[in-house]
Amino acid sequence: MGDKALAMKGGREKASVFSVLARNWSFFFLVLTVVIFSFTGKNFFALNNFQSIIHLATTALLLACAETFVIITGGVDLSVGFVLGLSAVASASTMQLLYAAHWSAPASVLVGIVVGIAASLACGLVAGVMIARFKVPPFIATLGTMGIAIGVSYHICGGFPIGYLPPGLTDIGNMYVLYVHPASGAWSFFARPASIAANQIKELVRIAPISFILIFVFLLLLWHLLKNTRFGQHTYAIGGSMDASVRAGINTRRHLILIYVLSTFLAGLAGIVDLFQSGTGNFTTFGAQLELFAIAAVIIGGASLMGGKGRILASAVGVLLLKVLENGLNLSGVQPFYRYIAVGLILIVAVVIDQLFPDLF
């Protein structure tokens, strides 16, 4: 509280330094955790580890982006975690069927992706129509579509991951952009250099997983959509005051439906990414709580559940903070169970900071 008084009484410069710090505390906290784990974690400070943290955070990043849009409008989307599973399972079973029916691998993969995305769009459409047209609270509407997504995805897969998919999925999903062989100086894009034998594969330095490109493109697109376009302005306006935006002539119903469709689209995309990375169609388990961790990341990024606040890049920092924490605690030899406690404590810190210094955000 002393700092707060200082910030209020002190000169503008001091206040602004402090507010920049408080506004971006999650970023500085992320830097701090990286520094700490670099000392405590075995092999934490390594190119491979950093790359794998981000690579494995791809789906969580997409879910957090989805949740950011919804939370800015003052809603919440509980369905994203299980829509991810639905999309993965629906596309995987389509691929499996078509490939077994002697379709070519690329054709069956493409049709599978379309089916998975379509299934997830349907969930968002149902939730959006209920929320926008029938004024159902978002919590309940997305809880309903979540139930349906759980049921349909378990019905499709019977409680087991779907295998026997067209070959090459993981080759694409876990491909690196650049391969360098320092000893011979050989390098190539997207595949191991032809001059390198299979037994030398450990000497290769692999740089930038393909998921970096996907994440970079989507973060950039969504950041632009939220920050610089009319769509983004309307999203903030609806979250700030629904009545005011109706009077300002925004078609709030259509906009809200689009927001929920966008949310499940990103969740469906995350399901496809998961399919490519793991090579099997994984359903979402009950303990996963993907949606709750996505919401936590968005809140850690400084958004408010009351709506009107939130930034894509800050949400991404929130996701990375949670993932670095998980990875770093693990490599420091801490039991994985402690991560639930750590996430809970950080979330409390985030919200209490938001409550104590509301004027800073």
Partner 1 sequence: MARAGGFTTLIGQRWAMLFLLIELVFFSFLGGGFFTMNGFQIVLFYSTTLALLATAETFVIVTGGIDLSVGFVMGFASVVSAKLAVRFDSLGLAPELSILFAVLVTLAIGLLPGFVNGVLVARLKVPPFLATFAVQGITYGTSLIITQGSAAINVPNLANVIGNSYFIHLVPGRGIWFFTRPEAARGADVIDIIPTMVVVTVLVIAVASFLLKRTRFGRHTYAIGGNIDAALRAGINTRRHLVVIYVLSSLFATLSGIIYMLEYVSGKADAGSSFMLDSVVAVVIGGASLFGGVGTIWRTILGVLILSVLEMGLKMMGVQTFDKYIAVGIILIFAVLIDQFFPEMIHKED
The CA angle 321-322-326, to the nearest 5 degrees, is: 115
Spatial contact of 146 and 82, defined as CB atoms under 8 Å apart: yes
Question: By CB under 8 A, is residue 92 in contact with partner 1?
Answer: no
Question: By CB under 8 A, is residue 334 in contact with partner 1?
Answer: no
Per CB under 8 A, which region of 33-41, 58-66, 93-101, 155-163 contacts partner 1? 155-163
Task: CB nearer to partner 1: give 158 or 333.
Answer: 158
Question: By CB under 8 A, is residue 148 in contact with partner 1?
Answer: yes
Question: By CB under 8 A, is residue 39 in contact with partner 1?
Answer: no
Question: By CB under 8 A, is residue 270 in contact with partner 1?
Answer: no
List C-alpha distances in Å: 330 to 169, 290, 292, 337. Answer: 28, 19, 21, 10
Question: By CB under 8 A, is residue 295 in contact with partner 1?
Answer: yes
- Shortest gap between Cβ of 214 and partner 1 (angstroms)? 29
Question: By CB under 8 A, is residue 140 in contact with partner 1?
Answer: yes
Distance between CA atoms of 207 and 152, rounded to whole angstroms? Answer: 38
Question: By CB under 8 A, is residue 198 in contact with partner 1?
Answer: no
Alpha helices in the chain (DSSP H): 2-9, 12-23, 25-40, 47-56, 58-72, 80-100, 105-132, 138-157, 169-173, 210-228, 230-240, 242-247, 252-278, 290-300, 312-331, 338-356
Distance between CA atoms of 54 and 77, rounded to whole angstroms? Answer: 24
Question: By CB under 8 A, is residue 159 in contact with partner 1?
Answer: yes
Contact pick of 50, 103, 154, 223 for partner 1 (by CB under 8 A): 154
Question: By CB under 8 A, is residue 333 in contact with partner 1?
Answer: no
Distance between CA atoms of 12 and 358, rounded to whole angstroms? Answer: 17
Which positions lie near partner 1, rule CB under 8 A? 76, 126, 130, 134-137, 139-141, 143-152, 154-155, 158-159, 286-287, 292, 295-296, 299, 305-306, 335, 337-345, 347-348, 351-352, 355
